[in-house]
C-alpha cells in the first residue's frame, strides 16, 4: 500500500496543497497545444490542475490512488478518469499531450525512463509532454515517499531520442527557483518504435 492509498494522508495533502495549482504550467502547455486537444494528466491528486486543463482541452485525469479519483468524482460525476500507474501506463488510449505536476519525482530514474518510454507509445503524432519536478540533485525519502530531484541536465539524460526538447524552465512554487518543468515533443523517430517492443 502506498502513501496516497491512506485517506488520512490524502486529506493531509489536500490541506497542504491549498492555495497552490499549476495554472502557469497549463498556460505554458497552451502556448504549444491547440484548444480542444486531448490531454491526459498523471497523478492528478485533488484535481485542481485537471479542472484548469478541462477549461481549454479535452482532459482525462488519472492517479495511482483510487482515493483521489473517488474524491474528484464526487464533485465531477461526468469526469473522464483512469486508475493508472505513471510507470506502466496500462491503457490503450492515445492523447495529444500528457501532463503532470509534481508527480514524477516520486519515481526512480529507471522508473522515469520507463514511464517516458510508455508515454511515447501513448502519444499521438507530434504529441507533447509537460511534467514538473522539484529542482535539485539526489534522492530523499520522507514518510516512505521517494523524492528524486532533477536539473535540466539530469532530465536531458533520461528522455532519449524518442523526444525533442521544446523547453526546460525553472520556476518558483514555494522557495525561489525550487521547481522546473520540462516540455517535450515526441520525435518522428518514436514512430519507428514498434508497440510490441514497449515494455
Ligand atoms: C505530490 S502529489 C501531486 C498531486 C497533484 N498533481 C497536485 O499538483 O496537487 C503526487 C500525486 O502523484 C500520485 N502518484 C505518485 N506516484 C504515482 C505513480 N507511480 N503513478 C500515478 N500516480 C502517482 C499520488 O497518488 C498523488 O496524487
Rounded-to-integer distance, Cα 195 and Cα 9, Å: 37
Mean pLDDT value across residues 12-40: 97
Question: Is the pTM value of this prediction over 0.75?
Answer: yes
Q: Which helix (H) or strand (E) holds 54?
A: helix 48-56
- Report how far ligand 1's centroid is from the alpha carbon of 65 (Å): 8
Q: In sequence order, what are the beta bridge partners of 134?
A: 179
> Are residues 61 and 81 in contact, defined by beta-carbon separation less than 8 angstroms?
yes
Ligand 1 atom 8: residue of nearest CA: 101
Counting the structural domains of the chain, the total is 1
Rounded-to-integer distance, Cα 46 and Cα 69, Å: 8
pLDDT at 192 exceeding the cut of 80: no
What range does the domain containing 36 cover?
Answer: 3-197
Pocket of ligand 1 (CB under 6 A): 4, 17, 22, 42-46, 49, 63-65, 68, 85-87, 101-103, 106
Rounded-to-integer distance, Cα 68 and Cα 65, Å: 6
Rounded-to-integer distance, Cα 108 and Cα 87, Å: 10
What percent of the chain is modeled with pLDDT above 70?
A: 95
Atom of ligand 1 nearest to the CA of 86: 20
At 198 the pLDDT is 45
CATH number at residue 176: 3.40.50.150
Q: pLDDT tens across 101-126, in order?
A: 999 999 999 999 999 999 999 999 99
Amino acid at each position: 500500500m502506498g502513501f496516497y492509498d491512506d485517506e488520512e494522508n490524502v486529506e493531509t495533502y489536500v490541506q497542504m496543497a491549498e492555495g497552490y495549482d499549476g495554472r502557469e504550467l497549463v498556460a505554458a502547455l497552451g502556448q504549444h497545444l491547440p484548444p480542444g486537444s486531448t490531454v491526459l494528466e498523471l497523478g492528478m491528486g485533488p484535481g485542481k490542475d485537471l479542472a484548469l486543463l478541462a477549461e481549454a482541452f479535452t482532459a482525462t485525469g488519472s492517479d495511482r490512488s483510487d482515493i483521489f479519483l473517488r474524491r474528484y468524482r464526487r464533485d465531477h460525476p461526468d469526469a473522464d478518469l483512469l486508475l493508472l500507474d505513471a510507470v506502466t501506463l496500462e491503457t490503450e488510449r492515445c492523447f495529444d499531450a500528457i501532463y503532470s505536476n509534481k508527480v514524477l519525482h516520486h519515481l526512480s530514474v529507471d522508473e522515469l525512463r520507463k514511464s517516458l518510454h510508455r508515454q511515447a507509445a501513448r502519444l499521438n503524432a507530434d504529441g507533447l509532454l509537460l511534467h514538473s519536478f522539484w529542482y535539485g540533485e539526489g534522492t530523499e525519502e520522507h514518510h516512505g515517499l521517494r523524492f528524486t530531484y532533477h536539473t535540466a541536465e539530469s532530465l536531458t539524460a533520461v528522455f532519449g531520442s524518442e523526444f525533442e526538447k521544446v523547453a526546460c524552465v525553472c520556476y518558483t512554487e514555494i522557495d525561489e527557483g525550487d521547481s522546473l518543468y520540462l516540455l517535450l515533443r515526441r520525435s518522428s523517430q518514436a514512430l519507428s518504435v514498434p508497440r510490441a517492443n514497449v515494455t
